[in-house]
Amino acid sequence: MAIVDTPGMVPASRAWSVAGLLLAVSDALAARLGAVTVRGELSGFTRAASGHCYFTLKDSDGQAALLRCAMFRRSAGLLDFLPADGHQVELRGRITVYESRGELQCVVEAMQRLGAGSLYELFLRLKARLAVAGLFDASRKRPLPAYPRAVGVVTSLGAAALHDVLSAIARRAPQVGVVVYPSLVQGPEAPAQLVAAIELAGRRAEVDTLIVCRGGGSLEDLWAFNDEAVVRAVAACPIPLVCGVGHETDITLAELAADLRAPTPTAAAELVAPLRVEALARLQALAQTLRRAVQRRLDQLGQRLDRLTLQMGRPARLLAQQSARLDALQARQHAALHQLLDGQQRRLDELAQRLRAAQRQQRQRQAERLALLTLRLAASDPHQVLARGYAWLADGSGRPVTHAAGLQPDTLLSAQWADGRAEVRVLGVTLGAAGVDESVARTGAG
């Protein structure tokens, strides 16, 4: 069979298959470079379930160059530290071509840590400063509404995270409304748009819970959620906010400032939207509990009504009982009134007897006192004194003469005796006890 070369076609002997070409390039790189040692900053580090590690190595000085790396389980098991995004490392390996994707990669055989990368250092400094400002305090975290009526989502319209969130909410709680506040989630314009979207949701206040989310990526891809303005907007949002950025191992400052951190956007949707089945089951349980409580209350009231009916009996019998009770109370009232009147009458008689006795005693005491006063008055009667031999002397004016010191010889006095009176003249006055006797003798003689 002859093979005819078609003009413009490369001869078959010179054409490469894709796998062959990639293998040739890989062999050429291995032969040309051999084992290489590279320094750089880790980004997008992940460890698969198989134990293999995959990451990107970049220059820490801001250059755009990236190198895909793979470190298989055997080599990863020899590491003496836990690699993470932002770590400055020095690795040794060989450059190959990953045939399935046609990508250049470095198969890492050894790695040692040099220090934290510049972007990661900036992350740590900003985290420390915002922590001092209190943006990450647990005391300011708010609980999420148990049953929200509407949920807001801040993310990119073209992001897979939005689809994940909408799917999760539609599956779990189709009755919950969703309001999307679109924003870029990556790039230099993303922080300003994220801040504007969060503030818009707060001003409109049309949702009960707000989700801020995006898919996974490297530290650079997620850096918009480490921007200070975005972190402060998240902390100041008046609506309870859940932040789900990247994968479970990705941590951003916005997540630390949020009321609740979700490991993924789907997890964020599951946290804010309770299962409709569980909510309906709880409603049904509450309704059953309410029905039982109402029925129990109705039964209690029915039993009470039956007891009251039995106690009431026929109206005539009840009236007879009440009439008998009224007669008994009336009889008790009359008896109590008579008893009270009898007691008052006895007390009145007793008081009257006591009054008469007191009056008799009072009259007796008054009579005895009158007799005593009569005796005393009789004893003080001047005529009685004169009857005992005494005389009453008075001067010419009728004033009594009680002292000899005031008399003068030849003074006229009036002397009164019990049986008469006489005019006397003083012949002389002698003071003292002897003089008294003498004056009396002379006065009597005159």
Residue pair 257/136 in contact by the 8 Å Cβ criterion? yes
Question: In this structure, are 175 and 251 located in the same domain?
Answer: yes
In a domain, 2, yes or no: no
Tokens matching residue 273? 């939207």
124-128, 149-153, 232-236, 397-401: the lowest-pLDDT one: 397-401
In the predicted model, what is the mean pLDDT of residues 123-149? 89
Q: Which of 380, 400, 418 corresponds to the end of one domain?
A: 380
Please list the alpha-helical segments (H only) found in 216-314: 228-236, 253-257, 265-272, 276-312
Residue with tokens 């309906």: 280
pLDDT at 290 over 90: yes
50-64, 140-154, 178-192, 227-241: the lowest-pLDDT one: 50-64
In a domain, 133, yes or no: no
Question: In this structure, are 155 and 244 located in the same domain?
Answer: yes
- pLDDT of res. 13: 55
Question: In this structure, are 158 and 263 located in the same domain?
Answer: yes
User: Residue 116: which pLDDT band, with cuts at 50, 70 and 90?
Assistant: low
Nearest to 251 by CA among 259, 261, 242: 261
108 backbone dihedrals φ, ψ, rounded to 5°: -85, 130
- State which of 61-70, 84-93, 385-394, 414-423 shows the largest mean pLDDT: 84-93
Question: In this structure, are 264 and 292 located in the same domain?
Answer: no
CATH number at residue 77: 2.40.50.140
In a domain, 130, yes or no: no
- pLDDT of res. 231: 93
69-73, 113-117, 193-197: the lowest-pLDDT one: 113-117
Nearest to 111 by CA among 144, 86, 87: 87
CATH number at residue 246: 3.40.50.9100
In a domain, 121, yes or no: no
In a domain, 9, yes or no: no
User: Residue 62: which pLDDT band, with cuts at 50, 70 and 90?
Assistant: low
Q: Which of 274, 296, 329 corresponds to the end of one domain?
A: 274
pLDDT at 79 over 50: yes
21-25, 107-111, 286-290: the lowest-pLDDT one: 21-25
pLDDT at 445 over 70: no
Residue 385: partners with Cβ closer than 8 Å, 6 or more residues away: none
Distance CA 23, CA 100 (A): 11
Question: In this structure, are 305 and 270 located in the same domain?
Answer: no
In the predicted model, what is the mean pLDDT of residues 112-129? 77
Distance CA 362, CA 359 (A): 5
pLDDT tens profile 326-354: 999 999 999 999 999 988 999 999 999 99
Q: Which residue range(s) make up the domain with 35?
A: 16-116
Percentage of residues in the chain having pLDDT higher than 90? 37
Sheet arrangement for strand 392-394: 392-394, 412-416, 421-425
Question: In this structure, are 305 and 405 located in the same domain?
Answer: no
257-271, 338-352, 359-373, 380-394: the lowest-pLDDT one: 380-394
pLDDT at 195 over 90: yes
pLDDT at 112 over 50: yes
Question: In this structure, are 162 and 246 located in the same domain?
Answer: yes
- State which of 79-83, 337-341, 388-392 shows the largest mean pLDDT: 337-341
Nearest to 96 by CA among 29, 33, 21, 34: 29
In the predicted model, what is the mean pLDDT of residues 376-404? 78
Question: In this structure, are 426 and 346 located in the same domain?
Answer: no
Residue 58: partners with Cβ closer than 8 Å, 6 or more residues away: 40, 41, 43, 65, 66, 67
In a domain, 158, yes or no: yes
**In a 10 Å sphere around its CB, with 0-12 CB exposed, 13-18 middle and 19+ buried, how is residue 416 labelled?**
middle
Question: In this structure, are 203 and 102 located in the same domain?
Answer: no
pLDDT at 446 over 60: no
In the predicted model, what is the mean pLDDT of residues 293-311? 86
User: Residue 443: which pLDDT band, with cuts at 50, 70 and 90?
Assistant: very low
The model's pTM:
0.47
**In a 10 Å sphere around its CB, with 0-12 CB exposed, 13-18 middle and 19+ buried, how is residue 333 labelled?**
exposed
- pLDDT of res. 433: 56
Question: In this structure, are 191 and 110 located in the same domain?
Answer: no
Q: Which of 380, 412, 429 corresponds to the end of one domain?
A: 380
Question: In this structure, are 307 and 317 located in the same domain?
Answer: no
Distance CA 104, CA 47 (A): 20
18-22, 183-187, 199-203: the lowest-pLDDT one: 18-22
Question: In this structure, are 171 and 92 located in the same domain?
Answer: no
Number of structural domains, the chain? 5
pLDDT at 8 over 60: no
Distance CA 172, CA 147 (A): 12
In a domain, 29, yes or no: yes
Distance CA 246, CA 221 (A): 9
pLDDT at 69 over 90: yes
Percentage of residues in the chain having pLDDT higher than 70? 91
In the predicted model, what is the mean pLDDT of residues 67-73? 93
Q: Write down the mean pLDDT value for the chain.
A: 84
Q: Between these two residues, 316 and 45, which has the higher pLDDT value? A: 45
pLDDT at 444 over 60: no
Q: Which residues face 97 on adjacent strands?
A: 104
In a domain, 127, yes or no: no
